[in-house]
Amino acid sequence: MIFSHIPVLQVIVPLVAAPLCVIFPFRKFCWTVALAATLTSLWIALTLLITVYAHGPITYELGGWAAPWGIGYRIDILSAYMTVLVSLISSVILVFSPRSIGAEISNARAHLFYTLYLLNLTGLLGIAVTGDAFNLFVFLEISSLSSYALIAMGQDRRALTAAFQYLIMGTIGATFYIIAVGLMYAMTGTLNIADLAQRLPEVMETRTILVALAFLIVGIGLKIALFPFHGWLPNAYTYAPSVVSAFLAATATKVAVYILLRILFSVFGPDAVAAMPIAQPLMILALFAMTIGSAVAIFQDDAKRLLAYSSIAQIGYIILGISFLSVTGLTGGILHLFNHALMKSALFLSLGAVFYRIGSVQISDMAGLGRRMPWTMAAFVVGGMSLVGTPLTVGFISKWYLIRAALESGWWPIAVLVLASSLLAMIYIWRVVEIAYFRGHPEAGADIKEAPLSMLVPIWFLTGANIYFGINTGDTITAARAAATMLLGGPQ
């Protein structure tokens, strides 16, 4: 039955589609294949989510080899949630992509873009479904390598140095990760996450495991771009093609956070994490990320770079939620994982549309765009409001949970910091709004047209999601709370 193989198909579909694009390098064909693959992934992901909801976690043994010899996939509520998020966002971005890619990537290389995109997707989905720590590394490398190449496709020559910078940092991160996995293997003799979780407690006190944990946190921190490991991110997001920025911002860092959650809560377990000095350092880094990221974003002249710094801040929010180690905090963190993906993809895509029309995303070049591209800029404003955390947008819901978590733990200064950082977000979004809506002569730039429908529809799909999930919060909160409870060791 093909249905029982659905967990592996989640990875295989994009993996098989990728080489097709190299063999038949026709732009339209590649796009169709890629879209078909991502939509199939989305369907599989949704099926998995529904199955996990109904029947609990799914385990799947590759080639019928049982763990610890074979590679096991294990899909629980959190993995399912991630696969839905990743495949949903990547589908929407693909719908948006043809014109943007046509403008930003030369015809000769367009098919390579789709190949890399699919490979990246394979890696990200693989990370989410695998139950094996080493296999996770393999998928991590697949997604990382393809993202370096994707960033390097940017028009600006600085994209090359940005990609190289990311390559160095990302490789260090991945190497740290594999060193840690090696150390854990040496102590326990297994790579399977479930087995690791069982055997680690015996050796938890050893120095080797502590060292492994340190390597893990720093290594994954590099991939997450957690302050102060964020150095690669601003350049990478700024110089990558618009759709790549949107894709990476919405999915890659989120999946890295997923790895952190897995390692902390599924491998080490909530009790061990609470006993070890992990939460406080993470919280402090998160607070720095939130405030410094937002503050630096205010001073950017390039709107994409502004969003990049804002991403660093938003990652801080997610990590902050995790560092509370409480159900409310973790729910807030996981919600923000999802919500931030919605906001940032909507925002980066609207900038993609702006770039498509005016060939620049310098804030000063956006004067009067509120009049010329009303729908695009309105989407930007809604996405920005969501970023600030205005009620009736998704941003409000996750911030609500984060602040509640802070107050429940009695850490009111953190609540103040979360709000202060929202204010900073208000300022950097307002800078764009003020220039786009209140500057520029009414007659200036009369030849600038609104973005084409093929761009507006995906943008507004994501923007609408920002509002929809901000009002109709039942499903997302239930899923996030279930995942948080599961991670903290409660019943599923």
Partner 1 sequence: MTGVFSWTPEIAVLFAVVIPLIGTAGIFAARSRPNLRETVTMITAAALFACVLYVAKSVFAGARPDVTLIQPLPGLALRFTVEPLGMLFALVASGLWIVNSIYSIGYMRGNSERNQTRFYAFFALALASTIGLAFSGNLLTMFVFYELLTLSTYPLVTHAGTEAAVKAGRTYLGILISTSIGFFMLAIIWTWVATGRMDFAEGGILAGTPAAPLTAVLLFLYMYGIGKAALMPMHRWLPAAMVAPTPVSALLHAVAVVKAGVFSVVKVIVYIFGIEHLSASGAGEWLVYVAGFTILVASIIALRADNLKRRLAYSTVSQLSYVVLAAAILAPLSVVGAVLHIAAHALGKITLFFAAGSIYTASKKINVSQLGGIGRRMPWTMAAFGIASLSMIGLPPTAGFISKWYIVLGAVDAQHYLALAVIFLSTLLNAGYFLPIVYRAFFAAPPDAATLGETAKADHGEAPWPVVLALTLTAAGTILLFIFPGPALTLAQLVIGNAP
Residues 6+ apart with CB under 8 A from 206: 187
Which amino acid appears at position 456 of this protein? L
Which amino acid appears at position 36 of this protein? A
Question: Cβ–Cβ contacts within 10 Å for residue 475, how many?
Answer: 9
* 438 near partner 1, rule: CB under 8 A: yes
The smaller minimum CB distance to partner 1, of residues 221 and 445, is found at 445
Question: Cβ–Cβ contacts within 10 Å for residue 86, how many?
Answer: 29
Q: Which of 344, 449, 446, 447 is nearest to 386 (CA)?
A: 344
The smaller minimum CB distance to partner 1, of residues 59 and 326, is found at 326
Q: Could you tell me the smallest distance in angstroms from the CB atom of residue 433 to partner 1? A: 10
The smaller minimum CB distance to partner 1, of residues 211 and 416, is found at 416
Burial class (CB in 10 A: 0-12, 13-18, 19+), 52: buried
* 378 near partner 1, rule: CB under 8 A: no
The smaller minimum CB distance to partner 1, of residues 214 and 471, is found at 471
Q: Which residues pair with 58 in a beta bridge?
A: 75
The separation between the first and the last C-alpha atoms of the chain, rounded to the nearest angstrom, is: 27
The smaller minimum CB distance to partner 1, of residues 115 and 466, is found at 466
Distance CA 331, CA 314 (A): 15
Interface with partner 1 (CB under 8 A), residue from 430, 448, 450, 464: 430
Q: Could you tell me the smallest distance in angstroms from the CB atom of residue 329 to partner 1? A: 13
Question: Cβ–Cβ contacts within 10 Å for residue 483, how many?
Answer: 26
Q: Which residues pair with 72 in a beta bridge?
A: 61
Q: Could you tell me the smallest distance in angstroms from the CB atom of residue 170 to partner 1? A: 36
The smaller minimum CB distance to partner 1, of residues 145 and 435, is found at 435
Name which of residues 177 to 216 contact partner 1 (CB under 8 A). Answer: none
Please answer whether residues 486 and 327 qualify as being in contact, where contact means their C-beta atoms are separated by less than 8 angstroms: no
The smaller minimum CB distance to partner 1, of residues 28 and 443, is found at 443
Distance CA 300, CA 227 (A): 18
Q: Could you tell me the smallest distance in angstroms from the CB atom of residue 396 to partner 1? A: 8
The smaller minimum CB distance to partner 1, of residues 262 and 431, is found at 431
Distances from the Cα of 453 to the Cαs of 97, 99, 253, 358, 465, in angstroms?
A: 12, 11, 29, 16, 18
Q: Could you tell me the smallest distance in angstroms from the CB atom of residue 472 to partner 1? A: 7
Q: Could you tell me the smallest distance in angstroms from the CB atom of residue 397 to partner 1? A: 7
Q: Could you tell me the smallest distance in angstroms from the CB atom of residue 201 to partner 1? A: 35
Q: With the CA atoms of 29, 464, 41 and 117 taken in that order, what torsion angle do they form, in degrees rounded to the nearest 10?
A: 50
The smaller minimum CB distance to partner 1, of residues 199 and 371, is found at 371
The smaller minimum CB distance to partner 1, of residues 205 and 434, is found at 434
Number of residues in the chain: 492
Distance CA 243, CA 97 (A): 6
* 440 near partner 1, rule: CB under 8 A: no
The smaller minimum CB distance to partner 1, of residues 29 and 430, is found at 430
Q: Could you tell me the smallest distance in angstroms from the CB atom of residue 425 to partner 1? A: 9
Q: Binding mask 386-425 vs partner 1 (x if CB under 8 A, - otherwise)?
A: --x-xxx---xx--x--xx--xx---x--xx--xx-xx--
Q: What are phi and psi of 67, to 5 degrees?
A: -65, 150
The smaller minimum CB distance to partner 1, of residues 30 and 388, is found at 388
Interface with partner 1 (CB under 8 A), residue from 434, 444, 446, 457: 434
Distance CA 216, CA 276 (A): 14
Distance CA 216, CA 198 (A): 18
Please answer whether residues 156 and 136 qualify as being in contact, where contact means their C-beta atoms are separated by less than 8 angstroms: no
Residues 6+ apart with CB under 8 A from 226: 285, 286, 289, 315, 316, 319
Q: Could you tell me the smallest distance in angstroms from the CB atom of residue 419 to partner 1? A: 5
Q: Could you tell me the smallest distance in angstroms from the CB atom of residue 42 to partner 1? A: 25
3 state SS of 276: coil
Place of tokens 């102590």: 187
Interface with partner 1 (CB under 8 A), residue from 160, 298, 358, 477: 477
Q: Could you tell me the smallest distance in angstroms from the CB atom of residue 249 to partner 1? A: 24
| Binding residue count for partner 1, defined by CB under 8 A | 27
Name which of residues 446 to 475 contact partner 1 (CB under 8 A). Answer: 470-473
Q: Could you tell me the smallest distance in angstroms from the CB atom of residue 361 to partner 1? A: 23
* Interface residues toward partner 1, by CB under 8 A: 388, 390-392, 396-397, 400, 403-404, 407-408, 412, 415-416, 419-420, 422-423, 426, 430, 434, 438, 470-473, 477
